[in-house]
Chain A
Amino acid sequence: MIRSNLFIKRKIGTQFVIVAIGEATKRFNGMITVNETGSFIWDQLEKDITLDELVNAVTAEYEVDADTARADAGRFIETLKEVGALAQ
């Protein structure tokens, strides 16, 4: 998995937001607000990464067990897929 380069993440105040740019707005013209873990996952998706690698990265960074991390990351990945924010 790797994120689309037609989306950007920025911190506005205390909020992390992910937004579609240009052509990508035809499919998703909204905004995704994410917490710090979501922001961390988005950063990991800059390079091609498997779900297992992602779960390892999350458990190494945060105090969370692998099952919870896998469930949370899986849900977030699904959301990103739905809006077209994953390139593959």
Chain B
Amino acid sequence: MKIRIAELNIEIQNRYPYTARQCVGYEAEFDRADITVCVPIEDVKREFERSVEGCSPGYAEFICIYRAIARELPRFGAFVFHASVVECDGRAYAFTATSGTGKSTHTALWLQEFGARARIINGDKPIFRFFGDTLYACGTPWCGKERQGCNAVSPLAALCFLERDTVNRIAPIDDAEAVKHLFHQIFIPESIEAAGLLFDLLDRTVRNIPTYLLGCNISPEAAHVAYRGMQRGENE
């Protein structure tokens, strides 16, 4: 099957129909693929064996396919990043944290509070891609269990590391702290060359994108504190 994500033509040679079902809305027609993916069946079996009970071989293949795509992305100035990305007023804000902290809960507050001004670009694993000096968050079919996301590309305004707190507060962080957090949210390719390209992209990311630490609870105020804090940072 053929899909287009992050402005890249991707040809996937999948065995199971699961991937085709997940990729609805991303199908494309093209003659030349930027990336061609064919996952060895041994990789699918290994993923299936180590994945949670109840997952299907098709799901395991779907996961392997994204990993294979992620390996190729750095040469296109792109990488997969574990975050929930919400767009508001035409600009994207990425929230990342360790699993279970409440990224999706927080971005859901943005939808609730900002209504039609906001939408989820990808709730779990967007692709970030540089076009010139601008980093864009790109929707992909790999968007988490809740399947939140859309086939859209939006300029990334800020990157925010999220932690639970009893009060809502946001502050810019320096790149030393940002690097520590970033490291846990990326997929590092096995090849030295691709890994080197990825780290060069992370360097460009911390130089170009303001980074914040948000402490928040689950009250609607959290969304307003986060948005105001990041807008203030942009205007300074």
Contacts and interface: CB of A to CB of B under 8 A. Distances in A.
B175 interface: yes
A21 B195 contact: yes
A33 B195 contact: no
B159 to A, nearest CB: 12
A21 B192 contact: yes
B131 interface: no
Interface in A1-31: 5-6, 8, 10-15, 17, 19, 21-23, 25, 30-31
Binding site of B, secondary structure by majority: helix, strand, loop or mixed? helix
A15 B179 contact: yes
B220 to A, nearest CB: 33
Give the one of B175, B179, B182, B189 with max A CB within 10 A.
B179
A22 B196 CA distance: 12
Contact of B190 (A14, A15, A21): A21
B175 A22 contact: no
A17 B175 CA distance: 12
A69 to B, nearest CB: 24
Contact of B179 (A5, A13, A22): A13
Interface of B: 175-176, 178-180, 182-183, 188-192, 195-196, 199-200, 202-203, 206-207
Interface of A: 5-6, 8, 10-15, 17, 19, 21-23, 25, 30-31, 33
